[in-house]
Amino acid sequence: MKVFEKYSSGLHTNTIFVGHSLGPAFILRILEKYGKKIDACFFVAGFIQRLGIAQFDKRNRSFIEGKFDWKKITSLCKSFTVINSANDPYVPLQCGEKLAKNLGVKITVLENAGHINKDAGYTHFEFLFEEIKKRL
C-alpha cells in the first residue's frame, strides 16, 4: 500500500485494473482504502483466501487476512471480470468461484490454462485483451 500511495491520485472513473494471482486481493484492498469509483477490474487466477501452500499462504497473509467489505467494493466498480483456470497448480478453481460469487459475477473458466502465466504459455492473452477493449 505504501508503494501504491503515490499513484492513488490517478484513480478515477475511467480506471481499469488488471490483477493476476495475488493482484486481485491487492486491488480489492485498494478499492476499500481509497473509496474511489472506477470503471472495471479484470481478475485473472485470483483468490481471496489461503491456498493451502505454506510458502504462499505466509507471504499472502497481509493481503487476504480480515474480511473484505463486499458492499463497498462492488459499489465502487462498474464491472468485474473473473477468469480462472480449471487446472491451476496454485489457485484451485474454487478460489476463483468464491471471488466471483462475492463480486456477484459469473466466472470465466479456462481449460488447461495452468496459472495463466508465462510458464503456462500465456505471453499474450487475446481473450483478456478483447474483454478490456470492450470497456474502452
Q: What is the pLDDT of residues 57-99, one digit of tens each?
A: 999 999 999 999 999 999 999 999 999 999 999 999 999 999 9
- Taking the C-alpha atoms of residue 134 and residue 45, their distance in angstroms, rounded to an integer, is 21
Alpha helices, DSSP H, located in the chain: 2-5, 23-34, 54-64, 70-76, 93-103, 126-133
User: Domains (ranges, CATH) in the chain?
Assistant: 2-133 (3.40.50.1820)
Distance of alpha carbon 20 from alpha carbon 98, whole angstroms: 16
Stated as kind and residue range, the H or E segment containing 19 is: strand 16-20
What pLDDT score does 115 carry?
Answer: 98
| Angstrom distance (rounded) from CA 84 to CA 73 | 20
pLDDT > 90? residue 136: no
